[in-house]
Structure 1
Amino acid sequence: MPAEPKPQSPKHHEDAAPFLLRPSTPRGAGILLVHGFSATPQEMRLFGEALCDQGYTVLAILLPGHGTSPQDLATKRYEDWLEATEAGYRELKQEESQIFGLGLSTGALLLLALAARVEVAGLVLLSPYLKLRHRFASSAWLLRHFKPYHHRPLAPEAALRYYERRPLNGVHQIHRLIGHLRPLLMKITTPTLAINGSGDQTIRVESGQSLLMSLGSRHKEYHLYGPEVPHVLCTEENPRWRSVLALSLQFLEGRQNDSAPAPADGHREP
């Protein structure tokens, strides 16, 4: 009898690949980009290129189960995502000694969990949350056994970056991640900027501010945009993406200056 073929690892879509961008004029810092649930690094491309233009070395990772198939994502746990986030940090640390994190939605939560483990110079949290908006989201742990996937229609261009079928086990993993994070928030002291849009139909927007207020960070900034701003803040889908980028750059530059080593006389340059 012929041997059974070995199972193959899921193949990634071409535009789902992680990317590393090195600036022509480095400013001595790296930024780890982490995309959201059911998305790909392409979600972070616009901001990644803009950050690189400003002198940052940029690494956008691909979370396990993403960029392959909904069936693949259904097998993953939040621990797999967090492990990939830390691996990305370690990779970027080989390029730059000072590392910042910028994440969207669930990517923001993963960066917070990372900051509880390693030293991060600053965090930009786009659409952070502690509660999802869908009324059945908290029951995903049970519903996943009866209805494995939630279907949502997507425009053809969006279907290149997101899954139309999202596994409910993934939503369950998000709730597990939030449960992991809650007792850690007061212990996280990383300077943090959090941004939400009140037009967000995915999360409970007020929980984003609650998350920030729960952090142990001395330096915390919060910005809430109006109803014209959706959940995804870092693509052209957001009419205010340029403003979000400007806020992010201002925060990053300020934190890089704050953490720069002081000269021998003990004074920083103005």
Structure 2
Amino acid sequence: MLIEAEIARARAAGCRHEENLPFLLGGERGQGAVLLVHGFTGSPWEMKPLGAYLAGRGFLVYGLRLPGHGTSPEDLAGKRMEDWLDEVTQGLRKLAACGHPVSAVGQSTGALLLLRAALEEPLNGLVLLSPFLRLRHRLAPAAGLLRFFKPFQNRPLTPQNLPYYYERRPVAGVHQINRLTRHLRSRLRQVQTPTLVVSAQGDQTVIVPSAMELYQRLGSRRKEYHLFGSEAPHVLTTADNPRQPETLTLTASFLAGLRRG
């Protein structure tokens, strides 16, 4: 696939920071292809450490940019679940066109989008990092109404993370996440893809037990669940997570095991 075309498309959409652009890495040893999907208000940057790790182990890795991300909160506020899902579906198909068996790894909302795509697209394996069926914020279920009165929710970010995440989260986007979880809940039994689920007790963004609920609902005959302790945060792929090295090795080992199988 031509990553230059994907980068040009991201730039045309308003993505300016280099680290927020989509990326393509590795593939020299033919271990298969992996699509990486970042989370809500994030960017491909948060998947880059995992991408580099997998590429170093012979995988062809494509880190896509979900519409509305890496640009502005206002841009994201105008995007729908269907826009994100279409980008994920196209990413899977572009990798499949390279002739490799395709697996996928998603962080948070990216994990949910991959579950939805897995209902229709053939996948070799799935790794779901911090997936969920319920968000932690007590007002999240009312986002469909709140978006008309409070368009954005402010949240603190460290200076080093400011270039890669939005300080203002569009409530309309939370409404789209609610749509996605409602859509998935009754369909998880239909997902047959081998799946690894990883979550953390220190997650302050989602209701952590809902990850186990999601895991239990999956129809996959081969599935694994791993729970980090309170020291690990919501985003598991970046250096902010003290268990990042284990996240990378768990993911790579699971995908390599599928390849051998």
- TM-score, normalised to structure 1, is 0.90
How many Å separate the matches in 2 of 1:168 and 1:139?
Answer: 10
Look up the match of 2:118: 115
Q: Secondary structure at the match of 2:122?
A: coil
Look up the match of 1:144: 147
- Aligned pairs (5 A) from 1:98-247: 98-247=101-250
How many Å separate the matches in 2 of 1:23 and 1:30?
Answer: 7
Q: CA offsets per residue over residues 9-42 of structure 1, 9 Å max, x none? A: 6411222110011333332x10000000000000
How many Å separate the matches in 1 of 2:255 and 2:92?
Answer: 17
Aligned-partner residue type, residue 87 of structure 2: A
For the aligned residues, what is the CA RMSD?
1.2
Deviating runs (4+, > 4 A) in structure 1?
none
Aligned: 1:54 with 2:57: yes
How many Å separate the matches in 2 of 1:210 and 1:228?
Answer: 22
**Cα pair 2:28 2:59 within 8 Å, conserved:** no
Q: Secondary structure at the match of 1:233?
A: coil
Residue segments in structure 1 that go unaligned for 5+ positions in a row:
1-7, 259-270
Q: Which has the larger radius of gyration?
A: 1
How many Å separate the matches in 2 of 1:170 and 1:209?
Answer: 24
Look up the match of 1:20: 24
How many Å separate the matches in 1 of 2:80 and 2:256?
Answer: 34
Residue segments in structure 2 that go unaligned for 5+ positions in a row:
1-10
Q: Secondary structure at the match of 2:183?
A: helix
Q: Percent identity?
A: 49
How many Å separate the matches in 2 of 1:10 and 1:253?
Answer: 35
Look up the match of 1:81: 84
Look up the match of 1:34: 37
Aligned-partner residue type, residue 228 of structure 2: Y
Aligned-partner residue type, residue 22 of structure 1: G
How many Å separate the matches in 2 of 1:68 and 1:52?
Answer: 26
Question: How far did residue 156 of structure 1 move?
Answer: 1.7
Aligned-partner residue type, residue 29 of structure 2: T
Q: Secondary structure at the match of 2:256?
A: helix
**Cα pair 1:57 1:96 within 8 Å, conserved:** no
- TM-score, normalised to structure 2, is 0.93
How many Å separate the matches in 2 of 1:197 and 1:96?
Answer: 35
How many Å separate the matches in 2 of 1:64 and 1:181?
Answer: 20
Q: CA offsets per residue over residues 184-226 of structure 1, 9 Å max, x none? A: 1001100000000100000000000110110110011001010
